[in-house]
Amino acid sequence: MHIYKTFHSTIKDFLNTEVKKRGAKFISVNASYKEPKHLCQYHGQNLFKGLITITNKIGEIRMQFHVVTDDHEHFWPSLLAFLNTLKAYGRHDLELVFTDNVHADRHFYLDTFPSLLEAQGRLDIKVTDGTMPNENDINKENTCTVDDTQIRVLSSKGAINEFITALEENIQGKPPEDQVIRLDAEWNVLTASHGMGMQTGKLALLILAYKDSDRRHMAALLRLHKLSSLPDRLLCFLVGGTKFSWEPCWWGNLKTRA
């Protein structure tokens, strides 16, 4: 921060240029009403109604501006400058906009960004004629490759015990270096009105990740929130000799549940 303050006058233009180079093929639009309410007042009166923040797909802020109302008319000058910047720096055309009010924002963004309207048209055609995109046209980076056959959700003690028995046999049949199960857990946290955590609840969800006999990545979601105690086979399995890799924060809650 000291360096920034000291050299801001000489590096400001460079920093502004670097920000403009960041991609924005997908953007998220968010409105904050707390910032202008608490920080932008003059003689006790709010100068603005909201702060609009636009980020790209990796969370980098691409644009911020204040508005005095929720009317889209106040968005237009900033979005037009943003569109001109994308063209000037040869960035990808905008293809997707995330907003928390699609019904009210849809037509405005489609009218503002021609490339967004074209992208919507391509999607509409695929929905109308029932065709699926060709594999060569799919952007692998943005495509979900998780197969639902690789995920199991178990809730009853009987189902969990049966699964653990089969899993243990599968793990024991592997070479020592492959006898690894990754573990994570989730539990409820009770918070006060100001958001501070006040009390931690019992273990609600236990997640086991492993490789099956075909070396596929598998995951089991064990729903424990309705159980008064851990299933016997699961408890024995967790405290046995199998090699694990886990985050230690779950252990206290596991003992509480057990």
What span, in angstroms and rounded, lies between the C-alpha atoms of 52 and 172? 55
Residue with tokens 């603005």: 48
Question: 61 — alpha (psi -120 to 50), left (phi > 0) or beta?
Answer: beta
Tokens of 22: 């960041």
Q: Looking at residue 1, what is its pLDDT?
A: 59
Q: What is the 3-state secondary structure (H, E, C) of 175-207?
A: CHHHCEEEEEEEEEEEECCCCCEEEEEEEEEEE
What span, in angstroms and rounded, lies between the C-alpha atoms of 88 and 85? 5
In this prediction the pTM is 0.46
Cβ neighbors of 223 (< 8 A, separation 6 or more) are 153, 154, 155, 204, 205
Q: Where are the domains of the chain?
A: 2-139, 149-257
Dihedral (CA of 74, 22, 89, 136) sign: negative
Yes or no: domain 149-257 corresponds to CATH 3.50.50.60: no
The single-letter DSSP state of residue 9 is H
Q: What is the 3-state secondary structure (H, E, C) of 207-243?
A: EEEEECCCCCEEEEEEECCCCCCCCHHHHHHHCCCCE
pLDDT digits 0-9 by tens, 133-183? 555 554 555 555 567 788 899 999 999 999 999 888 887 777 777 777 888
CB 96 within 8 A of CB 27: yes
Residue 196 has pLDDT above 80, yes or no: no
Q: Looking at residue 128, what is its pLDDT?
A: 59
CB 253 within 8 A of CB 203: yes
pLDDT digits 0-9 by tens, 75-112? 989 999 888 888 888 888 888 999 888 888 889 999 98
